[in-house]
Chains A and B, each alone.
Chain A
Amino acid sequence: MSLQLLVYHNNSAVFFPLFVHGVELNLQTGGTLQELLCDQLAIAPRILEDRLQTIMLNGKAVDDPGNIIVQPNDTLALSAAMPGLAGAIMRKKGRYAVLRSQINLSGNCREPQDSPIMKNRITIKLFNLITRELGPQLLDRGVFVKTANLQEMFQKRCLSIKKDCSQVLLNKKRIVLKKFGFKQIMEKIKKQEYIFLQVKT
């Protein structure tokens, strides 16, 4: 099932909490993490270099994304720089990386796969300021979210979502929000484990 929303004024921020739980995308696996970030997710090199200070794959810290091969069902977490010693330790290529040697992913020793490379589900979590940088483009492209997470979000932020939405499509059919609110939408999708959510601005 899919849910498409058109929101005003570049304002998709209300959906950002979904990224802390993690969203899923169909992406090509078998290539390097660097390729996935730059080519498939279209993250600008400047953001990758300067803003994206912590990268974790399956809970392990990555210092060199060019040296890591992405596998199906991997979970990728991205964060901006964080404070304190822990923030410094988790930083990619930081001088305190040795303090997390137990959870470093310093090359997962797999050769890049020959083509064809399959599209597979990858979970992506965005934290803190990185959500502002990358969230809108991922929402625009569309992500799979757990229906339970979406439900919780609609419950908490129903009013502001309604206020910001100019158009809603459920399974490509237009919905008039005045007649058919989010409660009814959630009723329709509640049996699905995941829903494809696209938020365009």
Chain B
Amino acid sequence: MDKILRINMGGLKGPEVAIDTLGDYAGLGGRAMTSTIVAGEVPPLCHPLGKNNKLVIAPGMLSGSAAVMSGRISVGCKSPLTGGIKEANSGGQGAQVLARLGYAAIILEGKPLDDTLYKIIINQNGVTITPANELKMLGNYDLVSIINKEYGAKVACISIGPAGEMKMSAATVAFTDMEQRPTRHAGRGGVGAVMGAKGVKIIIMDDAGLKMRAPADLEKFRIANKLFSEGLKKHSVTGEGLPTFGTNVLTGVINEAGAFPTNNFSTGRFEGAAKISGEALAELENSRGGEGSATHGCHKGCIIRCSGTFTDKEGNFLTKQPEYETVWAHGANCGIDDLDTIAMLDRMDDDFGLDTIEMGATIGVAMEAGLAEFGDSKAAINLVKEVGKGTPLGRILGNGAAVTGQVFGVERVPVVKKQSMPAYDPRAVQGIAVTYATSPMGADHTAGYAVTANILGVGGNVDPLKPEGQVELSRNLQIATAAIDSTGMCLFIAFAILDQPETFQALVDLIGSFSGQKFTADDLTALGKSVLEKEIDFNIRAGFTAKDDRLPEFFSDEPLAPHDVVFKVSDEELDQVFNW
């Protein structure tokens, strides 16, 4: 990974390719790379769909190597949804293949002079860009199957569906998985709309003939990788819970806690939760697809394998295992307790290239507006179809919950910085809400996901029994998450490195032995902090103020059943999160 691929889509004679050295970006990966480039090169006041915005795609620091779990990729830009900086993260094969091709980042910049749609092909011989108007408005599934026929079934694809072409703020960038299915998405913040604005339908990457990235110290790297793998396998979350039930393992307990937002955040418990739980989902997948169907990796080298394969009633592949967030968004949040409907919505989102969290929250708002009844599966499917077709109603919905709420006069719209809130009601789990409110990304469940802050020693030791600890913990978690997001490691490693110091040490050694430079926990922390600083600075220059770090009013006014709680963290406390 010693070069950066820059493509100016606004060249007078068509796209212009330049291959740069890393320069100041040397040593960066994943979110550290995307946020550094966006913060440094994108004018914060630019229009997100205009010529001055850039779409940056960067594999993690360890991607493309033999390090297990290192196949995450970051997509960054100024977000059309939030208006602030965005990093959206995805699994799939993209990170590994792009890294092996030697690119630390792809930067799409400029704006095409006409509405020609392009495909970009990258292999060891170089980069080719050709017009591909025949691919216009294809769903991701049909698109990838056409590409497979032309380029073989070993390529990795980065693509947009119709939602990206229509520049919708809920549009994703899709990444193919090991089976050549476009099931993995950089979902949040409308990154797909920016790719659409650049006129790029698909990037096809072929690493045939190329080897894995080699570590600087092979022996140390091998040992660290082995210890790291063993640590993940022996931990009950990464070795048992996630492989068996996937992320949807959370549904039962979050519902029991009264923190499972139901019917557009109007109550905290969903009566149908047992029917859509991780236990029910795993059982259904295994019974239809055969034992083991509920355990699957999203990229080569994933040993946790939190995903699965969802087969329809006729025994055909429908979609990957819907994540907890998707099951909640299209399920409880819309009053739907049918896994087949949820899986169908997941498939449609993946095909149209839409963020499942944003779409579930949007349908919830639409239901509250009276466009459909809560619990009406058919209506939910029809609303998402409208988005895929780009009807006037679909265009509204495809721009997310904030726009939909505004158009239909709904007051209860669960967004921060216009981005929909994920699957934990902030009134019941206030500590998460502090992160929702203050993350530079907008309401984001992964912004404070890396529960490793104490191991990293971020911010010293917080007294977990003191309420003020919420603010400090949220800050520390956000720093730790930004650091892990930069390595290319999947965030689900967090539990094992939280509980097992030797597994954390193995991760630090893995990074150190790969780069050949001494790397400590302090370095990881400093990295996370510097990423966040750049992101916050970008947002300030884009016009964000402390007033944007707030939850919608209804969270403070409407008590949430069953515990009748409201959000109580004061504005002054929220303002302390990034007061470092």
On A, residues with C-beta under 8 Å from B are: 16-17, 20-21, 51, 53-54, 56, 59-61, 77, 79-90, 94-103, 125, 127-129, 131
Contacts and interface: CB of A to CB of B under 8 A. Distances in A.
Contacts of A84: 247, 250, 445, 449, 451, 491-492, 494-495
Contacts of B533: none
30 contacts: A16-B279, A17-B280, A17-B283, A20-B277, A56-B253, A56-B257, A59-B258, A60-B563, A61-B257, A81-B241, A81-B495, A82-B241, A83-B237, A83-B306, A84-B492, A85-B432, A85-B445, A85-B477, A86-B429, A88-B451, A96-B431, A96-B473, A98-B431, A99-B432, A102-B427, A103-B259, A127-B277, A127-B279, A128-B279, A129-B240
A113 to B, nearest CB: 25
Contacts of A100: 257, 428-431
A89 B474 CA distance: 12
Contacts of A131: 279
B244 interface: yes
Q: Identify the interface centre among A59, A84, A87: most chain B CB within 10 Å of its CB.
A: A84
A98 B445 contact: no
B249 interface: yes
A97 B279 CA distance: 25
B564 to A, nearest CB: 10
Contact of B256 (A86, A102, A125): A125
B244 to A, nearest CB: 7
Contact of A99 (B430, B449, B454, B492): B430
Contacts of B237: 81-83, 87
Given A86-B424, A90-B257, A99 B431 contact: yes
B278 A102 contact: no
B323 to A, nearest CB: 11
Given A21-B274, A79-B253, A100-B428, 14 more contacts: A77-B252, A77-B253, A77-B256, A80-B236, A82-B253, A83-B238, A84-B247, A85-B448, A98-B465, A99-B431, A127-B249, A127-B252, A128-B278, A129-B236
The 7 closest A-B pairs by CB, nearest first: A99-B431, A88-B451, A127-B252, A20-B274, A77-B256, A102-B565, A98-B469
Contact of B428 (A80, A87, A103, A125): A103
Contacts of A16: 279
Given A20-B280, A89-B431, A83 B242 contact: yes
Contacts of A20: 252, 274, 277, 279-280
Contacts of A125: 252, 256
B470 interface: yes
A89 B432 contact: yes
B447 to A, nearest CB: 9
B315 interface: no
Interface residues of B, number: 58
B467 interface: yes
B466 interface: yes
Contacts of A51: 236
B462 to A, nearest CB: 8
B121 interface: no
Given A81-B241, A81-B495, A97-B464, A128 B252 contact: yes
Contacts of B491: 84
Given A83-B495, A88-B495, A103-B428, A128 B241 contact: yes
B127 interface: no
B445 A59 contact: no
A98 B464 CA distance: 5
Contacts of B526: none
A110 B252 CA distance: 28
B562 interface: yes
B473 A98 contact: yes
A100 B280 CA distance: 26
A87 B429 CA distance: 12
B498 interface: yes
Interface string B445-489: 100110100100000001011110110011001000000000000
A102 B563 CA distance: 9
A125 B256 CA distance: 9
B357 interface: no
Contacts of B173: none
A82 B237 CA distance: 6
Residue of B253, B424, B491 with most chain A CB atoms under a 10 A cut-off: B253
A4 B67 CA distance: 51
B466 A98 contact: yes
A128 B252 CA distance: 9
B545 to A, nearest CB: 25
A101 B241 CA distance: 25
Given A51-B236, A90-B253, A95 B464 contact: yes
A4 B278 CA distance: 28
B118 interface: no
Given A17-B280, A101-B430, A102-B428, A59 B495 contact: no
B254 interface: yes
Interface string B222-244: 00000000000000111011101
A83 B236 CA distance: 10
A49 to B, nearest CB: 13
B245 interface: yes
A96 B237 CA distance: 17
A147 B59 CA distance: 52
A96 B451 contact: yes
B259 to A, nearest CB: 7
A98 B244 CA distance: 29
B470 A99 contact: yes
Nearest to B560: A102
Contacts of B238: 83
Nearest to B247: A83
Contacts of B254: 86, 90
B431 A81 contact: no
Contacts of B448: 85
- Name the residue among A20, A80, A100, A128 with the largest chain B CB count within 10 angstroms: A128
A185 B474 CA distance: 54
Contacts of A82: 237, 241, 249-250, 253
Contacts of B495: 81, 83-84, 87-88
A53 B499 CA distance: 13
Interface string B241-278: 11011010110111011110000000001000010011
B562 to A, nearest CB: 6
Contacts of A59: 256-258, 269, 562-563
A61 B259 CA distance: 12
A83 B565 contact: no
Among A85, A88, A127, residue most surrounded by chain B Cβ atoms (within 10 Å)? A85
Interface in B107-143: none
A81 B236 contact: yes
B525 to A, nearest CB: 17
A127 B250 CA distance: 9
B464 A103 contact: no
A53 B432 CA distance: 19
